[in-house]
Amino acid sequence: MATAARQSLKIGLVPADGIGKEVIPAARRAIEALGSDIPKPEFHDLVAGFEHFTRSGTALPEETVRALREDCDAALFGAVSSPSRKVTGYTSPIVALRKELDLYANIRPVVSVSADPRGKPSIDMVVVRENTECLYVKQETMIHTETGREARATRLITERASRRIGKMAFEIALKRPRKLVTIIHKSNVLSVTDGLFRETVRGVPKLPEVAGRYDNVTIAEQIVDSAVYRLFREPEIYDVMVAPNLYGDILSDAAAALVGSLGLVPSINAGDHFVMGEPVHGSAPDIEGKGIANPIAAIRSAALMLRHLGYEKGADRVDNAVNSVLREGQFATPDLGGKSTTAEVLDAILKRI
- 45 as an active site residue: the answer is no
d(CA 125, CA 137): 27
Do 83 and 90 form a contact (C-beta atoms < 8 A)? yes
> Helix (H) and strand (E) counts for the chain?
11, 12
Q: Which of 124, 239, 249, 319 is catalytic?
A: 249
Q: Annotated catalytic residue: which of 136, 214, 247, 311?
A: 136
Contact 27, 298 (CB under 8 A): yes
Maximum Cα interatomic distance, the chain, rounded to a whole number of Å? 68
Closest CA to 47 of 72, 10, 12: 12
- Residue 225 falls in the annotated catalytic set: yes
> 134-169: string of b/e by CB count within 10 Å (b at 16+)?
bbbeeeeeeeeeeeeeeeeeebebeeebbbbbbbbb
Q: CB of 44 within 8 A of CB of 10? A: yes
Q: Which has the closest alpha carbon to 158: 271, 274, 245?
A: 245
Residue among 71, 225, 313, 339 flagged as catalytic: 225
Among the listed residues 186, 214, 247, 311, the single catalytic one is 186
Catalytic (active site) residue 104: no
Choose, from 102, 253, 316, 347, the residue flagged as catalytic.
253
Catalytic residues: 136, 186, 225, 249, 253
